[in-house]
């Protein structure tokens, strides 16, 4: 069976086989994957069509590929309450008995390839936060 990937911003997306296996996976350069948890109360622009899980009552979890030659350590943020799990982090995948945590309809690894982190999001994540002096 051929590996399904999706071309985004000039980078080929990663294979989805690691997400189909279930369990807990490492994020970052070792798996070429980054996870973005978006709370219900936060709106983000430019959300790509990618593999997504529903965190019942909390929001959604996007699985994205790291662009070629990018770091997996990010000092910036995508928005209030948005959590980015990358280098050195681990995430649990849906389907292991955790109630209220499931693949979004039509957005499981069986339905879609994993898109690459959008360039605009990468720029935001690489920006160092400005310090506010009292």
Most confident of 52-56, 85-89, 126-130: 52-56
Q: State CA 100 to chain mean position distance.
A: 19
Sort residue 122 into left (φ over 0), alpha (ψ -120 to 50) or beta: alpha
Question: Can you give the pTM of this predicted structure?
Answer: 0.78
Going from N- to C-terminal start, the domains of the chain cover 7-126
Cα(119)–Cα(134) distance, rounded to whole angstroms? 33
Question: Chain centroid to CA 129: how far?
Answer: 21
**Segment 68-105, tens digit of pLDDT:** 666 666 777 788 888 888 887 888 888 766 667 889 99
What is the rounded distance in angstroms from the CA atom of residue 82 to the CA atom of residue 37? Answer: 6
Describe the strand order of the beta sheet including 101-103 as a list of residue ranges: 83-85, 33-39, 59-65, 52-55, 101-103
**Which two tokens mark 129?**
């936060």
User: In this model, does residue 9 exceed pLDDT 70?
Assistant: no
CA–CA dist 64, 127 (Å, integer): 19
């Amino acid at each position: 069976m051929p590996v399904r990937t999706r071309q985004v911003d000039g980078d080929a997306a990663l294979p989805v086989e690691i997400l189909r296996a279930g369990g807990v996976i490492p994020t970052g350069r070792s798996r070429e994957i980054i996870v973005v948890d978006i709370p219900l109360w936060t709106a983000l622009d430019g959300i790509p069509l990618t593999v997504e899980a529903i965190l019942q009552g909390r929001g959604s979890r996007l699985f994205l590929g790291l662009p070629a030659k990018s770091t997996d350590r990010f000092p910036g943020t995508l928005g209030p309450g948005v959590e980015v799990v990358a280098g050195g982090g681990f995430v649990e995948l849906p389907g292991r008995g955790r109630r209220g945590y499931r693949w979004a309809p039509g957005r499981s690894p069986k339905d879609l390839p994993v898109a690459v982190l959008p360039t605009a999001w990468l720029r935001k994540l690489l920006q160092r936060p400005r310090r506010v002096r009292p």
